[in-house]
Structure 1
Amino acid sequence: MTTGIVIAAAGRSERFIRAGGSGNKLNAPLGERTLFAQTLQQAQASGLPLVVVTRPDNQPVRRHCAAHHVETVLLDSRGLGDSIAAGVAARPQWDGWLIHLADMPFVPAEIFRQTAAALQKYAIARPCVNGRPGHPVGFSATLRNALCALRGDDGGRSVLFGREVHLISVDNPGIVQDIDLPSQLADSE
């Protein structure tokens, strides 16, 4: 059974820019790397196959993926739903997909592996910390068509709605910590 990671990196960084940030937040420095490079490193450390959905004009993300031999799907995304659909459609041979957001650099490799393992028994799995659900969100092949039908800003909410979600209790707040504002970059170092 092959489960892989779809990293959604096709956002426009609108909140980041409105808050005073410059350019796409994924290319902003976070310690020694960029925000995106940190996220990709964590995902690659899991040993799971992965694909990155990014904007055609985000050259830094595209170059970083090429340098690390990670395939990209180019998408002028209108929202997370479009990115999820494109990533899942690009990997129809997988038996499961871990949907991960590129602005969540603090999820360790072990969480990706735990979520992938849970998909061997459950249709949907995701980690949670103190009862709060986080990322990545794992979906089994039984939900392929529903994932490929996503559009706009819905993300995976409509696929989650009314379905049982297996929660994996973890002790790592990184699963709920994203970077939306320039001030969060400095707070995270």
Structure 2
Amino acid sequence: MAAQPAVIVLAAGRGSRFLGTGHKLAQRLGSATVLAATLRHAVATHLPVVVVTTEAFAETARDHVAARDVIVLPEPGTPGMPSLGMGYSISAGVSAASDASGWLILPGDMPMVRSDTMLEVARELSHHAVVFAQHRGLRGHPVGFSSELYSELVELRGDEGARRLVARYAAFGVEVDDPGTLLDVDTVADLESARLAHQGSAVPVQRV
């Protein structure tokens, strides 16, 4: 079977902008948490899924993907540990799926990104080095990287993530009718927006 792109779900951040009670990824969104809803959509693509998280959310991740596909990093702020940042999370996820034909980077706090949107981005990775979903001309997530960028992705460190790669290469935007590509749950107001958007939503399932 030919290699497919993998979805790398990033769920190891501190979530410091969320001022509600508890971590933003643990907030309820219908019958699931924010992270669980994100993972459901990722798994519904039938693409390989790797979750980069901390011990606090490892059990949630293992409820959706195989234990071998859950990469557990130290909690942010752990004494004696350097700040690993988003760049390291991306590196860890890509390294764990090194045999994939590309990687879709999806923040764990984006529970409304539909599975068909992920698949549209994945399809374009055979034609472009960097691909991102956009809605009404606005850049969103996921952002995809082809396998030719592997060596650069695994060297990422710090909080900047992959922005330099996106800026360096000609990035291709896939226009999708999916406002969820722009909705990340950073604040309490974002959470309320996600809850409103969740009402009546479904998880479309297609294959690459």
TM-score by shorter chain over 0.5? yes
Give the secondary-structure state (helix, strand or coil) at the position aligned to 2:189.
Answer: helix
The answer for the alignment partner of 1:188 in structure 2 is: 194
The answer for the alignment partner of 1:116 in structure 2 is: 122
Deviations 1:53-94 (A, max 9, x none): 0013x1xx2112222233210112632111101100111111
How many residues of Structure 1 are paired with residues of Structure 2 in the alignment?
183
Give the secondary-structure state (helix, strand or coil) at the position aligned to 1:160.
Answer: helix
Question: Structure 2: which 5+ runs fail to align?
Answer: 77-83, 196-208
State the distance in 2 between where 1:188 and 1:68 align.
Answer: 21
1:188 deviation in Å?
2.5
**TM value normalised by structure 2:** 0.84
The answer for the alignment partner of 2:204 in structure 1 is: none
1:111 deviation in Å?
0.7
Give the secondary-structure state (helix, strand or coil) at the position aligned to 1:12.
Answer: coil
The answer for the alignment partner of 2:171 in structure 1 is: 165
Which is helix-richer, 1 or 2? 1
The one of 110, 113, 132 aligned to 2:138: 132
Which letter does structure 2 place at the counterpart of 1:51?
V
1:124 deviation in Å?
0.9
Deviations 1:94-123 (A, max 9, x none): 110000000001111101111111011111
The answer for the alignment partner of 1:96 in structure 2 is: 102
Is the contact made by 2:105 and 2:143 (CA closer than 8 Å) also made in structure 1?
Answer: yes
State the distance in 2 between where 1:68 and 1:162 align.
Answer: 34
**TM value normalised by structure 1:** 0.92
Give the secondary-structure state (helix, strand or coil) at the position aligned to 2:116.
Answer: helix
State the distance in 2 between where 1:186 and 1:111 align.
Answer: 22
1:155 deviation in Å?
1.0
State the distance in 1 between where 2:43 and 2:7 align.
Answer: 9
1:14-33 mapped onto 2 (5 Å cutoff): 14-16=16-18, 19=19, 21-33=20-32
Is the contact made by 2:40 and 2:64 (CA closer than 8 Å) also made in structure 1?
Answer: no
State the distance in 2 between where 1:113 and 1:153 align.
Answer: 27
Question: Structure 1: which 5+ runs fail to align?
Answer: none
Across the aligned residues of Structure 1 and Structure 2, the Cα RMSD in angstroms comes to 1.3
1:40 deviation in Å?
0.5
